[in-house]
């Protein structure tokens, strides 16, 4: 049987090998253990990233920080490397990539002191994109970001901390994002309703309830024939006054309710006049009576009474 031969490496060779490895360019550096690199490897790579960062070579620093965290995810320096990567990406006008890098800190390093900071930075970034805050210095987007992308970012912020105040704010921002597109009114109403249902005690709930009423009222203004949007809008404003009587929107809701009632009276009178001109007096009388019943005086009240008398029908 052939015995195994022991290979002896001279100490001088070891030094040469280490020196050679240290001089290898970052792009060619292969760290042992793709998923569980040694902490020494991580420290070396992290130091190089910091050196590039301090020298103003942000693109190179981003790559090195990313390599540090990706190849050594369990190293003590991994959270800081990933966080700094996100910061630099944000500075270099790459919000999508920065958002994802912050998400890695949030997902993988919840015990890190950088966890809360990453969450706050990510939320700030998402809201800036949603609000269309495009700086002249940082041209984040050459074209307006896709609404699906914005909503996805806000949903991530919401779900990262579903019980925190930031969740209600993100959900409300989803409603605003949909509202900014006229064709997305129904999605906006649903998003605002989620604020009211899931975060009823948040500062955003009264405003979301008011937004629901407003959007329904706008729908009624577009000629909804069965008047269902008008009724739903009134109920939305009534719910606001009942659920949040001390909110600043309660008074605005009362004004809207009065406006809706006025519109409904005018609508009933217009329908009555339509039937009156067609000489369908029995149908006209139904709507004239509604006008009289819902008013105590005023021009429409007096005109409706006069019409009822002219067609020989009592109130």
Q: Which SS3 state, helix, strand or coil, does residue 40 take? A: helix
Structure-block tokens of residue 249: 């929107």
The residues near 136 (Cβ < 8 Å, ≥ 6 apart) are none
Q: Is the pLDDT of residue 19 over 50?
A: no
Interhelix angle 228-243/205-221, rounded to 10 degrees, is 160
Domain spanning 14-145: CATH superfamily: Tetratricopeptide repeat domain (1.25.40.10)
Contact 75, 35 (CB under 8 A): no
Q: How does DSSP classify residue 6?
A: P
Structure-block tokens of residue 310: 């002219």
Band of residue 13 on the pLDDT scale cut at 50, 70, 90? very low
Q: How far is CA 260 from CA 32, 228, 238, in A?
A: 71, 12, 11
Residue-by-residue DSSP string for 185-236 = HHHHHHHHHHHHHH-TTSTTHHHHHHHHHHHHHHHHHTT-TT-HHHHHHHHH
Phi/psi at 2 (5° precision): -85, 125
Contact 220, 227 (CB under 8 A): yes
The Cα–Cα gap between 141 and 134 comes to: 7
Give residue-wise pLDDT tens across range 29-51: 333 334 445 789 999 999 999 99
| More confident call, 35 vs 215 | 215
The Cα–Cα gap between 99 and 153 comes to: 8
Q: Is the pTM of this model over 0.85?
A: no
The Cα–Cα gap between 182 and 215 comes to: 10
What does the pLDDT read at residue 37? 52
The residues near 44 (Cβ < 8 Å, ≥ 6 apart) are 22
What does the pLDDT read at residue 315? 61
The residues near 23 (Cβ < 8 Å, ≥ 6 apart) are none
Q: Is the pLDDT of residue 143 over 90?
A: no
The Cα–Cα gap between 78 and 69 comes to: 4
Residue spans of the domains in the chain: they are 14-145
As a whole-number percent, the residues of the chain with pLDDT over 90 amount to 73
The Cα–Cα gap between 155 and 163 comes to: 13
Cα atoms found within 13 Å of the Cα of residue 241, Cβ hemisphere only: 15
The Cα–Cα gap between 83 and 91 comes to: 13
The Cα–Cα gap between 99 and 289 comes to: 61
The Cα–Cα gap between 29 and 45 comes to: 9
The Cα–Cα gap between 187 and 185 comes to: 5
Query: In a 10 Å sphere around its CB, with 0-12 CB exposed, 13-18 middle and 19+ buried, how is residue 111 labelled?
Result: exposed
| More confident call, 222 vs 122 | 122
The Cα–Cα gap between 89 and 96 comes to: 9
Structure-block tokens of residue 20: 């050679």
Q: Which of 125-139, 210-224, 246-260, 285-299 has the lowest mean pLDDT?
A: 125-139
Arithmetic mean of pLDDT, 271-292: 94
Q: Is the pLDDT of residue 75 over 70?
A: yes
Residues in the chain: 315
């Amino acid at each position: 049987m052939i015995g195994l031969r022991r290979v002896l490496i001279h100490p001088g060779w070891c030094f040469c090998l280490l020196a050679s490895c240290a001089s290898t360019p970052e792009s060619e550096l292969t760290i042992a253990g793709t998923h569980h690199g040694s902490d020494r490897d991580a420290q070396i790579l992290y130091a190089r990233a910091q050196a590039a960062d301090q020298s103003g070579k942000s693109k190179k620093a981003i790559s090195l920080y990313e390599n540090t965290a990706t190849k050594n995810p369990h190293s003590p320096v991994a959270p800081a490397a990933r966080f700094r990567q996100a910061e630099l990406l944000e500075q270099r006008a790459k919000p999508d990539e920065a958002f994802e890098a912050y998400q890695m800190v949030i997902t993988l390093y919840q015990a890190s002191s950088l966890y809360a900071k990453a969450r706050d930075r990510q939320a700030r970034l998402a809201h800036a994109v949603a609000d269309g805050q495009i700086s002249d210095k940082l041209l984040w987007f050459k074209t307006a970001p896709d609404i699906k992308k914005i909503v996805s970012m806000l949903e991530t912020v919401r779900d990262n901390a579903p019980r925190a105040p930031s969740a209600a704010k993100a959900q409300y921002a989803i409603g605003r994002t949909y509202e900014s597109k006229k064709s997305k009114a129904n999605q906006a109403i649903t998003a605002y309703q989620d604020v009211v249902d899931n975060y009823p005690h948040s500062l955003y709930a009264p405003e979301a309830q008011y937004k629901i009423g407003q959007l329904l009222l706008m729908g009624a203004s577009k000629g909804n024939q069965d008047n269902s949007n008008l009724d739903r809008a009134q109920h939305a404003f009534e719910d606001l006054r009942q659920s949040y009587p001390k909110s600043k929107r309660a008074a605005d809701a009362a004004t809207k309710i009065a406006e809706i009632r006025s519109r409904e009276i005018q609508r009933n009178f217009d329908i009555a006049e339509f039937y009156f001109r067609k000489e369908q007096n029995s149908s006209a009388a139904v709507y004239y009576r509604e006008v009289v019943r819902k008013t105590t005086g005023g021009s429409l009240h007096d005109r409706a009474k006069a019409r009822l008398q002219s067609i020989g029908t009592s109130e």
